């Protein structure tokens, strides 16, 4: 059950200009994703970003892409990130087996990615406060299905403190400031 800093990588799935405004609780979602990205930087955890058909759905939200300025989003057309050869190869090259998941939509791209990650031998760590769908019922059902299929469900703040491990360090202080 332990999430190990040296064995994890984060994925931000499809938080794009034309999709984001119709998501449930979009303000909370953005806040959670911003906190996650800043936390991954503080903790020096690699991050991957995907974009579902950016010609039609736009690019990653500017607030998020500005925080991840050195990361090139991976364009995909399959709902599951694992259906994209570049994503799959990048994940394999990382040699990390725990995959932290944030993004949209919970019941489509997020859920299918989690299912395929689990099937491929990865441990999916889904951040319940950093995923969303247009309808809350779709999000709720997706969370239950992902949990049933073996995904670990947690929150951004819980994850960041678990990865920080101990209090009193500069990383702990930075994470504490971040979540307040």
Q: Phi-psi region for residue 57, left (φ > 0), alpha (ψ -120 to 50) or beta? A: alpha
Active site residue 27: no
The whole-angstrom distance between residue 35's C-alpha and the CA centroid of its chain comes to: 11
Residue 1 DSSP label: -
Catalytically annotated residue among 76, 84, 116, 129 = 76
The DSSP 8-state label assigned to residue 125 in this structure reads: E
From the candidates 84, 109, 116, 129, which is the catalytic residue? 109
Query: What domain count does the chain have?
Result: 1
pLDDT in tens, 115-173: 999 999 999 999 999 999 999 999 999 999 999 999 999 999 999 999 999 999 999 99
Structure tokens at 137: 């019922």
CATH number at residue 147: 3.40.50.850
Please write the tens of the pLDDT for every residue from 13-58. Answer: 999 999 999 999 999 999 999 999 999 999 999 999 999 999 999 9
Q: What pLDDT score was predicted for residue 19?
A: 93
pLDDT of residue 1: 81
Catalytic residue list contains 76: yes
Q: What is the structure's pLDDT at 90?
A: 97
pLDDT in the model for residue 65: 93
Give the pLDDT confidence score for residue 102 in this predicted structure.
Answer: 98
Pairing of strands 152-154, 123-132: parallel
Query: Residues 14, 84, 116, 129: which is the catalytic one?
Result: 14
Q: Does residue 28 carry a catalytic annotation?
A: no
Residues 6 or more apart from 99 whose CB is under 8 A from it? 8, 9, 10, 11, 91, 117, 122, 123, 124, 125
Domain that holds residue 95: 5-179
pLDDT at 96 over 90: yes
Query: Residues 2, 162, 106, 55: what is their CA dihedral angle, to the nearest 10 degrees?
Result: -110
């Amino acid at each position: 059950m332990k999430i190990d800093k040296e064995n994890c990588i984060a994925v931000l799935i499809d938080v794009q200009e034309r999709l984001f405004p119709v998501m449930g609780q979009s303000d909370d979602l953005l806040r959670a994703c911003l906190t996650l990205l800043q936390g991954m930087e503080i903790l020096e955890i690699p991050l991957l970003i995907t974009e579902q058909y950016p010609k039609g759905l736009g690019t990653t939200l500017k607030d998020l892409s500005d925080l991840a300025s050195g990361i090139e989003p991976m364009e995909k057309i399959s709902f599951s990130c694992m259906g994209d050869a570049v994503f799959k190869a990048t994940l394999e090259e990382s040699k990390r087996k725990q995959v932290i998941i944030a993004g949209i939509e919970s019941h489509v791209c997020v859920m299918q990615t989690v299912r395929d990650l689990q099937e491929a031998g990865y441990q999916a760590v889904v951040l319940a406060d950093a995923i969303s769908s247009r309808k809350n019922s779709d999000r709720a059902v997706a969370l239950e299905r992902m949990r049933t299929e073996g995904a670990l469900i947690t929150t951004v703040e819980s994850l960041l403190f678990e990865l920080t491990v101990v209090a009193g360090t500069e990383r702990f202080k930075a994470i504490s400031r971040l979540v307040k």
